[in-house]
Chains A and B, each alone.
Chain A
């Protein structure tokens, strides 16, 4: 069912909507006359381009219009979405045969109670050109948990393959502007589920509004014109192919996309408090400059966080450390771990056991806390304002929401700190910021002169996943027993630590190191604490077991594996860099009887490898991956007594190029079949033209998993 809600902009509104104003809107020229009577030829198009005849549906046009109209102390925001879709198969007919929309609704957020109203219109155009407007009286009301909403559902009658559905919805919202309003920014690719023949996006605002817009990856520029007191901004695009589901893609870096935001202030003097980047009223802003970022960073100086040095010193004493004997980097590291314990570790039990505790800090709070701590310790530091790789390059920055923060010490050998987390690690630049261009500010308050630099990027050797497998035939002579040990280093490990490591795996050690008090609750809640703890322990044990079984099942392409003896040797946190763990497993399906011999799926010992589908063998967009990374396997298979192994030469592969590689070797040593493999992705991003090179080693690794060797009797 199509749910009619804003597709491009989600406006956060916050004021009471005066019903009389809403009603007044509907008394003007009938909306459907206005919308369905648009003169441009493109809005009467009913022809599906020949090249899209085999698609499920084709969007002949989609027209978005946003108007912002200041009325006294209110801004009237209207959004209109009008589209026409040719339905070329049953799937499309089903997709467009049911709609739901909120005829009246309450808007959350902001001040007071706010309401909105939706006006809709639907018509079906038959292949012979006959148009039938759908009677909205057929819509049924649906009760929701929100009494203020009036949700309606509509089934479109007489809709068949070959028809065109032409519909619009028009949302009217009014909200009080106390001082400023920065409407939620939008970022969207132009392509969607179906190809689009023509697309238009328009903003109609009074000149005292701020409009930010930026096209990326070849998306169209915005055109502007003035009509009386209004500014009209228009973006038009044609011939947009549907989005293709592809792995390893950052859509905003690879596909044509647009970003935009509307802001408003009632008083010119309050412009400085608009919470986002903006230009001059009535002037389109298309880029965010260094000075814009500096200006915003300067605003942070209005806030302060306090760092209490005394307990930190006490902590250092308990660890036989003293600030006097420590370098700036050492001070900063100890302080960071100390703060991480304060805001995360010390609160974990309360958080997970249901005694209501916040965990961690927002990115802004993190920066402010670090600034206060650096100041208290008299350590010089810098704040790094970066843009996440998934949003594109810093040149395309348009909103604050695209930014992320790091803090580092100042000097020749800086130490990087990212926001507090479950498993804190210093000098670990998040993969989302690696290799990106960022602004750097001095951390001292009031200094807002920035310079740009490119953040370091880790090598594939730094992010390593090593597996040591000792494998032998089970006594039942059908299954295999696996003794598995894993060592994860660098950016690879956090994903795994989040899944396999639970609070009590590390908390006792952390509590001891930071002298954290035992969780205390009022006497009457002690029973609840005891029970909650028991329940937590039970559930994490079960959860970990299931996670491990799923991992083994997936890696070894096997059903119902048995997993036991899970043990963690090292957790990468508080200075430890590796996550080391292991467990035993028994798996079926890798040993196939053939008379008195066996086929052994030795290739699968390295676990499942990425399978590239036939349709993905060619690629026109860059390959965006999380990070450069590497994997290695050391496998020792005990050859059962009375058997020899044949066919190990198939396990020798060597494919290497600048994008990565897969190298494997196998040998027999005594009663052991020894297999070593290395696989690596050299970079976190590859240009599309390198895809064929990547395929070489990806396909080799995949082929490897299909290799079987022969265990020959006698």
Chain B
């Protein structure tokens, strides 16, 4: 059950609308004190959390309905709070009765609110949220909250988690599977969690219980893996029913899942003729198939705005190609479908492709609607599939965003399907390379600088610069190139075409930096590194792996010409920190009258695992210390 604590609605506000009518039970108070000590950020803890899942057959719709009833006993860990509880639902599910009772079993009135759930990046969704506040006057106050949620179709019932936003002494998930229902349950990320069969002679079926104890709350951290990677949960795989002679095969295999998806796509009413003329026009000058694909792919990237609609069946069914084409906007499915139809219209073998981004831990060995969350297009070129994700605004052909790299895909193939995988690119594809040739001039470092961006570092830059107000771009570029340091100047800036994405992106400019030089009599101290990346990137209290947007590879090289009459009296020591998740290398050397500075930073897996935080923190501290080290020049006597 998707129970959430709404951060925006979570208000620990002071109120006098309720008074403490019941004394706090000493054992509840003791429980609260214990939980508070262990989870100081939590406002409530669940003494018990029991979720019961039952199934019903709707003879009218001939669908299996799912009833999820949760009964949770909360105890407050802080005084005077109004704890917000929310429950999601949509066009295929509903939240029924909600009951809140005090420790004596008496009803407490709540003010239930239902509204459309708004998410960043989603223009419209059928997701709704029902939320309400539960008052807790003092520490140790007990409240029992019961909620019933119903799914109209078992296909949309994906999983139940054994953790929640609040700490729990225990959670039990009891599943009553009637004999007529074929349901497989997959245990995901289990560690201390257990399961057992519950004997029940009165029930014609089997009862399974999953349970866990002393559960810490989920953590809400940015740049984190999705919950399917992080938390124990049970995944429900619907494999059909046989109810009084009526049968359905469900989603037993990947083929079944594909068949269901394909059933949705056959409901589309694509009119390829609406897009064919443009496809032909765009590719008229293209000499090769690769150029033709690029022409179509880049046109969709640049001309179709990503506007996400997640509305009922439309959440799974792509919009017709002519609709997306005419509206010039669509979600990932619509954009994939338009790309496919445009390519098909000029003779390519292009196909819709389902994929789960790296946020999801599942692959297509699990036949569930929860296995994917994205759609792209695959086009065959020289017998191999190339994948086209038009939602990536400035991704070059053959370059894949980190979020889909290595992820399994399901490619349409008539009544069959093809499974494959998005290729994985090395970090070196994303190199950001800075080269500076500098000399000393009136207590300033001056010279030329060149920035080259490749792969995803380029795509990200191009996305931001092209989506910025054009009257602000020049200043923004200067801020970027000078690292917002007022003593640094970037002038005579020459750039490559910010619309092209197939060649390395370059920016050449004249460079001047005052703060890099400090002179004292016959001594000069130099700092050759303007940017100093990751000088403050410590993971202090983070609990989950940190994900980067892409695999990083930053290289900075500086050649400094030693002024006449000076010699190098100090060169800082070199630094080398190599680890599976990262590498920091800083090298100083002298060649004739030139000091060479080279820095290389690599995050080759686009993540720092939690177990490597300590090593990372130590390396960052060493790097920060290194950044402070100065080069010293001394005037020859």
Query: Which residues of A come within 8 Å of B, CB atoms?
Result: 54-56, 88-94, 97-98, 140, 142-145, 153, 155, 157-160, 353-356, 478, 522, 524-525, 527-528, 531-532, 535, 559-560, 588-589, 591-595, 597, 599, 611, 613-615, 646-647, 702, 706, 708, 710, 712
Contact = CB atoms under 8 A, between A and B. Distances in A.
A356 B15 contact: yes
Interface stretch (B272-280, B367-375, B432-440, B624-632): B624-632
Contacts of A559: 535-536, 538
Contacts of B470: 54-56, 88-89, 91
Contacts of A591: 628
8 contacts: A91-B467, A98-B307, A354-B13, A354-B80, A528-B80, A531-B78, A592-B630, A710-B518
A524 B518 contact: no
Contact of B475 (A160, A524, A531, A615): A615
Contact of A140 (B20, B118, B124, B305): B124
A647 to B, nearest CB: 5
Contacts of A597: 632
B469 A91 contact: yes
A289 B424 CA distance: 75
Nearest to A595: B570
B20 A158 contact: no
B114 A143 contact: yes
Given A158-B328, A594-B629, A595-B569, A54 B471 contact: yes
Contact of A157 (B114, B328, B631): B328
A593 B467 contact: no
Contacts of B19: 522, 524-525
Interface stretch (B205-213, B238-246, B519-527): B519-527
Between B14, B303, B327, B329, the greatest number of chain A beta carbons within 10 A of the residue's beta carbon is seen for B14
B16 A355 contact: yes
B32 to A, nearest CB: 10
Given A55-B469, A155-B329, A647-B518, 18 more contacts: A54-B471, A88-B470, A91-B468, A91-B470, A94-B467, A98-B123, A155-B327, A157-B327, A158-B327, A160-B303, A478-B625, A528-B80, A532-B14, A560-B536, A588-B624, A593-B630, A594-B630, A708-B518
Contacts of B468: 91
Chain B CB count within 10 A is highest, among A91, A98, A144, for A91
B128 A143 contact: yes
A610 B246 CA distance: 76
B24 A527 contact: yes
A529 to B, nearest CB: 9
Contacts of B487: 706
A143 B123 contact: no
Interface of B: 13-16, 19-21, 24, 78-80, 113-116, 118, 123-124, 128, 137-139, 303, 305, 307, 309, 311, 326-329, 466-472, 475, 478, 486-487, 514-515, 518, 520-521, 523, 525, 527, 535-536, 538, 540, 569-570, 572, 624-625, 628-632
B467 A702 contact: no
Contacts of A647: 518, 520
A528 B326 contact: no
A591 B628 CA distance: 8
A56 B518 CA distance: 42
Contacts of A91: 467-470
A60 B12 CA distance: 47
A94 B305 contact: yes
Contacts of B139: 527, 531
A29 B563 CA distance: 82
Which of B78, B303, B305, B326 has most A Cβ within 10 Å? B305
A599 B307 contact: no
B305 A646 contact: no
A577 B467 CA distance: 52
A633 to B, nearest CB: 21
B567 to A, nearest CB: 13
Contact of A55 (B21, B311, B471): B471
Given A356-B16, A478-B625, A594-B570, A89 B469 contact: yes
A152 B139 CA distance: 43
A142 B116 contact: yes
Contacts of B525: 594, 599, 708, 710
Contacts of A54: 470-471
Given A594-B632, A710-B518, A144 B116 contact: yes
A383 B538 CA distance: 57
Given A56-B471, A527-B138, A593 B629 contact: yes
In order of increasing CB-CB distance, the 9 nearest A-B pairs are: A354-B14, A531-B79, A157-B327, A595-B570, A594-B630, A56-B469, A356-B16, A559-B536, A592-B628
Contact of B14 (A94, A353, A531): A353
Contact of B137 (A94, A528, A615): A528
A706 B14 CA distance: 47
A342 to B, nearest CB: 21
Contacts of B475: 615
Contacts of A592: 527, 628-630
B138 A531 contact: yes
Contacts of A97: 305, 307, 329
Contact of B124 (A153, A157, A354, A356): A153
B326 A158 contact: yes
Contacts of B78: 531, 535
A589 B80 contact: no
B609 to A, nearest CB: 22
A470 B435 CA distance: 42
Nearest to B16: A356
Nearest to B327: A157
Nearest to B114: A143
Nearest to B518: A708
A613 B309 CA distance: 42
A73 to B, nearest CB: 35
Contact of B515 (A92, A98, A353, A706): A706
A322 B478 CA distance: 69
B6 to A, nearest CB: 12
Contact of B16 (A354, A589, A594): A354
Nearest to A138: B327
A527 B632 contact: no
B24 A157 contact: no
Contact of A599 (B311, B326, B518, B536): B518
Contact of A589 (B328, B570, B628): B628
A394 to B, nearest CB: 37
B20 A528 contact: yes
Contacts of B515: 706
